[in-house]
Structure 1
């Protein structure tokens, strides 16, 4: 597997281009901004975009979705419970200094337990709400990687002070990931550097408290 991370936009969000080694097909996870940068990366590496995967619909994760679709024709997979936000992001994203954002009506709605087969991969969809109401994680267990959006970060977790957030649900989602996948699993997060589940199990204060007390507070 070949994973390339591009940090984009004012919020410094991580978009990932994912392809099989030697393949000319790719998937992008969470293209949050800077569509020209991502299109240039596709061209540089000789990749054809076959799909756009969205973990959740906060503006910093969807800002380039419509532009990438227009340029490549790639279809979009979005959490079912957040599709309305992707269709009309400006109705709910009123952040001073950000936007307006282009909406997009996704071709595919995903739920926990689904499998998305694209570019030679079978992405398992894991329901991981808490940071947003219907957040999902895209997992490739055979490749030892998860694309976790804003669930788990290096030394931290997703914020839960936004509308629709729920700290308890977020911590249960993190516990589910720890239970499902082994410690060697690489976490490709929506912000900051990649990490592993094992590193976070050993060093992340929120995870340590979750495992000790069941709260992650």
Structure 2
């Protein structure tokens, strides 16, 4: 399996493309759908599904166009579904233009093991930044995609509506920090880290 990072959208979201045996899963398609599409075509990859860590506007900008273009399902925790219609309003408020609202076709739950075109992903529900925020553990790669829950020596913001500092801390301590220290952390923005590094050096924990 291979993991490719494409930085997308107005706020520089790390969009992750998981590839295996000619299939691909795109995680957090924040925008730049043409760039994502070009990458898939250049590698002759068949898109199996779209998967999101959470529903904030900067992580969903390319979801609806890609769903239409490739006729693929969209997986996200249902507790964040209410955030999707707010994306268009927030985009316009910040002067980023228009965005089509996607619809979740498949809800996901904590502990669920997804097999998307042969790409195996374990769902870890990590509420805090948003109620339905999730991280995705990929055992084959020894990594976890953490969205806006855990960053390099930082954590997700909890000053937004529907966020909770206590829930975020509990999610990180009780769910992410139970992973092996060598597990690579791929966040929603910025540089990668490891679980061990964050346990020892993250000043917010």
Common fold: TM-score over 0.5 = yes
Partner in structure 1 of residue 198 of structure 2: 200
Is 1:124–2:122 an aligned residue pair?
yes
Instruction: Report the 3-state secondary structure (helix = DSSP H, G, I; strand = E; otherwise coil) of the residue aligned with 2:84.
Output: helix
Q: What is the CA-CA distance between 1:166 and the residue it aligns to? A: 0.7
- For residues 88-114 of structure 1, the C-alpha deviation after alignment (integer angstroms, 9 at most, x for no partner) is 633676632134321122210112122
Matches for 1:136-215 after TM superposition, within 5 Å: 136-207=134-205
Structure 1 segments (4+ residues) deviating >2 Å: 84-96, 176-180
Partner in structure 1 of residue 19 of structure 2: 19
Partner in structure 2 of residue 29 of structure 1: 27
- Distance in 1, matches of 2:159 and 2:93, equals 14
- For residues 27-68 of structure 1, the C-alpha deviation after alignment (integer angstroms, 9 at most, x for no partner) is 000000110011111111111110000110000100100011
- Distance in 2, matches of 1:165 and 1:113, equals 22
Q: Is the 8 A contact 1:88 1:104 kept in 2?
A: no
Runs of 5+ in structure 1 lacking a partner? 208-217
Instruction: Report the 3-state secondary structure (helix = DSSP H, G, I; strand = E; otherwise coil) of the residue aligned with 2:175.
Output: helix
Instruction: Report the 3-state secondary structure (helix = DSSP H, G, I; strand = E; otherwise coil) of the residue aligned with 1:148.
Output: strand
* TM-score in terms of structure 1 length: 0.88
- Distance in 2, matches of 1:160 and 1:94, equals 22
Instruction: Report the 3-state secondary structure (helix = DSSP H, G, I; strand = E; otherwise coil) of the residue aligned with 2:93.
Output: coil
- Distance in 2, matches of 1:94 and 1:81, equals 24
Partner in structure 2 of residue 7 of structure 1: 7
Matches for 1:10-89 after TM superposition, within 5 Å: 10-20=10-20, 23-86=21-84, 89=87
Q: What is the CA-CA distance between 1:142 and the residue it aligns to? A: 3.9
- Distance in 2, matches of 1:117 and 1:7, equals 25
- Distance in 1, matches of 2:148 and 2:62, equals 17
Instruction: Report the 3-state secondary structure (helix = DSSP H, G, I; strand = E; otherwise coil) of the residue aligned with 2:181.
Output: coil
Instruction: Give the length in aligned residue pairs.
Output: 205
Q: What is the CA-CA distance between 1:10 and the residue it aligns to? A: 1.7
Q: Is the 8 A contact 1:52 1:65 kept in 2?
A: yes
Q: What is the CA-CA distance between 1:71 and the residue it aligns to? A: 1.3
Partner in structure 2 of residue 135 of structure 1: 133
- For residues 136-170 of structure 1, the C-alpha deviation after alignment (integer angstroms, 9 at most, x for no partner) is 11112343111111000011111111111111111
* TM-score in terms of structure 2 length: 0.93
Distance 1:180 1:66, change over 3 A: same
